[in-house]
């Protein structure tokens, strides 16, 4: 009963390096999300994907790219990391029908430090 | 655009006393509202949601929330606080783009709840 799994849990990057954060869910959800959490800022949406093959920008997409590889997986890529991208990153998934709006389920987070 | 506001960065309560964590919202249609809790070094956990129906919603761990349409509020409450309730609490609203459109969940800035023994 894994839910939403994120890898890695911790990462330290040098400025300018690239990396991909992985996320997978086993709940057959259509929608997936990437958020970043910074002190005093709450959670801010980076990108989201309503269904396989679609992605949309959130509040803070600059410096990031995403790929919805299939229904289970949604990755977040930092092409050239900057110290401002030091944060905790959360992946989430949810589903909905026409009648109900369902809550999101979150991964454990990735703590990223860019030096 | 939909938004939520949590006016208090921190709430301090003595164990056994009632607690309230405040949230106000701004939506263009019917609100779909949520409360989540985050314990240290963990992801967010769902507590409760309001979709429609009764204004008092009951959730996990003895928490409840009161939906007030006239005041556009969705405050989280618990009759008797426990030390183990100490955590970061987030109010959220779903930005509903219609069935065939993408929708996203917008979070407030969070309120840190501290329960003293």
Q: Give A55-110 pLDDT, tens digit per residue.
A: 999 989 999 999 998 999 999 999 999 999 999 999 999 886 545 567 889 999 99
The answer to whether the CB of A113 falls within 8 A of the CB of B114 is no
pLDDT of residue B40: 85
With beta carbons less than 8 A apart as the criterion, state whether A111 and B40 touch.
no
Query: How is A50-107 classified by DSSP, letter by letter?
Result: SSTT--EE-S--TTEEEEE-SSSBEEEEESS--GGG-EEEEEEEE-B-SS-BPPPEE-
Instruction: Tell me the nearest-neighbour CA distance from B29 into chain A, angstroms.
Output: 14
Residue A107 is nearest to which of B43, B96, B110, comparing CB atoms?
B43
Q: Which residues of A touch B (CB under 8 A)?
A: 4, 31, 33, 35, 40-45, 48-50, 54, 56, 58, 90, 92, 94, 96, 98, 100-101, 103-109
Residues 6+ apart with CB under 8 A from B44: A43, A90, A92, A104, A106, B36, B37, B38, B90
Nearest CA in chain B to A100: B51
Q: What pLDDT is recorded for position B96? A: 66
Q: CB B110 to CB A98 under 8 A?
A: no
3-state secondary structure of B9: coil
Classify residue A39 by burial, with Cβ atoms within 10 Å: 0-12, 13-18, 19+: exposed
Low-confidence residues of chain B: pLDDT under 50: 100
Predicted local distance difference test score (pLDDT) of residue A96: 67
Instruction: Note the pLDDT tens digit of each residue in A3-54.
Output: 999 999 999 999 999 999 999 999 999 889 999 999 878 899 999 998 888 8
Question: A-chain residues within 8 Å CB-CB of B36?
Answer: 106
């Amino acid at each position: 009963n894994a839910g939403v799994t994120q890898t890695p849990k911790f990462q330290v990057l040098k400025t300018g390096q690239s990396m991909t954060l992985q996320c997978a869910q086993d709940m057959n959800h259509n929608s997936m999300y990437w958020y970043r959490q910074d002190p005093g800022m709450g959670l801010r949406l980076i990108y989201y994907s309503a269904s396989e093959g679609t992605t949309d920008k959130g509040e803070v997409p600059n410096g990031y790219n995403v790929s919805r590889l299939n229904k289970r997986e949604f990755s977040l890529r930092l092409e050239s990391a900057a110290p401002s991208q030091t944060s905790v990153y959360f992946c989430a998934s949810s589903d909905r029908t026409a009648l109900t709006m369902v809550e999101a389920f979150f991964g454990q987070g990735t703590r990223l430090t860019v030096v | 655009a939909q938004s939520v506001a949590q006016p208090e960065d921190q709430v301090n309560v003595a164990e056994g006393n009632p607690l309230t964590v405040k949230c106000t919202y701004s939506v263009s249609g019917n609100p779909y509202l949520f409360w989540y809790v985050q314990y240290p070094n963990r992801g967010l956990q769902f507590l409760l949601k309001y979709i429609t129906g009764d204004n008092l919603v009951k959730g996990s761990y003895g928490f409840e929330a009161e939906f007030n349409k006239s005041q556009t509020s969705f405050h989280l409450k618990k009759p008797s606080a426990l030390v183990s309730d100490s955590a970061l609490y987030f109010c959220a609203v779903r930005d509903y783009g219609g069935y065939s459109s993408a929708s996203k969940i917008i979070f407030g800035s969070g309120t840190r709840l501290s329960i003293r023994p």
